[in-house]
């Protein structure tokens, strides 16, 4: 079997073309830049485009959010500089979640077993009190348990247990989190 990208299944529906173009423009001006440090303005714009955003959310500069209509952010969350939320599917951040600088949350991947390299998507859930360290990566379908920690540069390809610290690629449990 050989890969045949000309047969790629591009039936993914991410919303209307006009909505995507408008979001792209708003995102370029207000989110993917260093000048805008106003979290309240970014929260307002996310809500306009269909995101559910709680209170007292901090959104740092240079954030890339693919589709706000697939995003839920709870209360008192913090999203650091350079975070990329590639939400081809639903991404849910519960209350008191910290997503550190340069983290990458990706809901999609391709089926390497298929000759047409079909797109596969799955939601990401980050439960209350969790912390995703700088440059941490969360893959499609992963649930990060309550108060779990994904440490610096770690890659979560499977669910993370509550109150557990993970490191490495792929991420493995290193010890229990005591608060």
Report domain extents, the chain.
15-176
At 22, give phi and psi (nearest 5°). Answer: -60, -45
pLDDT for res 102? 98
55: tokens are: 């209170």
Structure pTM? 0.94
In CATH, the number for domain 15-176 is 2.160.10.10
pLDDT tens per residue across span 130-155 = 999 999 999 999 999 999 999 999 99
Residue among 179, 106, 110 nearest 149 (CA):
179
What sign for the dihedral angle of Cα 15, 21, 27, 28?
positive
pLDDT of 9 over the 80 cut:
no
pLDDT for res 111? 85
| Span of 10-14, 49-53, 86-90 with lowest mean pLDDT | 10-14
Confidence of residue 10 (pLDDT cuts 50, 70, 90): low
- The size of the chain, in residues, is 179
Confidence of residue 105 (pLDDT cuts 50, 70, 90): very high
How far is Cα 113 from Cα 82, in angstroms, rounded to an integer?
32
For residue 152, give every residue at least 6 positions away whose Cβ sits within 8 Å of its Cβ, in sequence order, or none.
133, 134, 135, 136, 167
139: tokens are: 């893959």
pLDDT for res 107? 97
């Amino acid at each position: 079997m050989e890969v045949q990208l000309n047969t790629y299944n591009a039936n993914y529906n991410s919303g209307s073309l006009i909505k995507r173009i408008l979001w792209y423009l708003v995102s370029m001006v207000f989110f993917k830049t260093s000048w805008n440090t106003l979290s309240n303005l970014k929260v307002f714009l996310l809500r306009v485009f269909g995101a559910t955003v709680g209170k007292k959310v901090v959104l740092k500069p240079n954030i890339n959010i693919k589709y706000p209509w697939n995003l839920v952010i709870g209360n008192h969350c913090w999203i650091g500089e350079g975070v990329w939320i590639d939400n081809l599917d639903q991404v849910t951040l519960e209350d008191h979640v910290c997503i550190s600088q340069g983290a990458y949350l990706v809901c999609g991947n391709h089926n390497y077993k298929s000759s047409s390299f079909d797109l596969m998507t799955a939601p990401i859930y980050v439960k209350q009190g969790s912390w995703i360290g700088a440059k941490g990566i969360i893959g499609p379908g992963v649930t990060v348990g309550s108060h779990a920690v994904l440490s610096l540069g770690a890659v979560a390809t499977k669910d993370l247990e509550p109150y557990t610290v993970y490191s490495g690629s792929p991420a493995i449990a290193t010890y229990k989190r005591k608060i």
